[in-house]
């Protein structure tokens, strides 16, 4: 199997992938990332159940993640605009890493996948958490944003 960059045409020029000949199928993608805090800040956030003077960080990040997924094609130049069927977000406290783990699953019935939408949802949610907590510390790290799995289309993928 030969790997090639799908956003380059035969001449090596940038091109949006032509999906017109593809069949619409149900496609999902799940991505994850972490927002890592200094130990004392993490403990304070967890003890406050994620509530700050600005409101709930996870509820706000949930909405931001969904909005980010919906706007992916406005942010990533060669992404197709997709009529998303759903975007689900989850937020888990990770005591061993002093982190909030953000997970997003995007779903669509279309001719192209939703990996970028899931990754964008996680990225925007992590940035929102940073924004809502940066008054507590600037020693916050956004880390390990990655695709976990995808289904539908030409091939499935699962990151072990």
Residue 11 confidence (pLDDT): 74
Q: Is 116 annotated as a binding residue?
A: yes
Report the SS3 class of residue 12: coil
Residue 160 confidence (pLDDT): 62
Q: Locate the domains of the chain by residue range.
A: 28-153
Q: CA 54 to CA 75: how far, in whole Å?
A: 26
Q: CA 42 to CA 97: how far, in whole Å?
A: 9
Cα four-point dihedral sign 70, 72, 77, 81? negative
Q: Is 119 annotated as a binding residue?
A: no
Q: Which regions of the chain are under pLDDT 50? A: 1
Tokens of 5: 């960059």
Cα four-point dihedral sign 68, 73, 78, 82? positive
Choosing from 131, 139, 144, 156, the catalytic residue is 131
Instruction: Render pLDDT for 82-119 as a digit per residue (tens, 0 to 9).
Output: 999 999 999 999 999 999 999 999 999 999 989 999 99
Tokens of 110: 């279309």
Residue 1 confidence (pLDDT): 38
Q: Is 78 annotated as a binding residue?
A: yes
The verdict on domain 28-153 having CATH code 3.30.70.640 is yes
92 is catalytic: no
């Amino acid at each position: 199997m030969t790997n090639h960059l799908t956003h380059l045409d035969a001449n090596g020029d940038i091109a949006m992938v032509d999906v017109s000949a593809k069949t619409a199928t149900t496609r999902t993608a799940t991505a994850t990332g972490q927002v890592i805090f200094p130990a004392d800040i993490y403990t304070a956030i967890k003890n406050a159940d994620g509530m700050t003077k600005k409101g709930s960080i996870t509820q706000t990040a949930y909405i931001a993640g969904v909005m980010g997924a919906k706007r992916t094609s406005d942010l990533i130049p060669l992404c197709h605009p997709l009529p998303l069927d759903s975007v689900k977000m989850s937020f888990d406290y990770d005591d061993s890493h002093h982190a909030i783990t953000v997970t997003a699953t995007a779903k669509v019935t279309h001719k192209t996948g939703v990996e970028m939408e899931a990754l964008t949802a996680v990225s925007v949610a992590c940035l929102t958490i940073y924004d809502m907590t940066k008054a507590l510390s600037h020693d916050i790290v956004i880390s390990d944003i990655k695709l976990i799995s995808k289904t539908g289309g030409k091939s499935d993928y699962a990151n072990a």
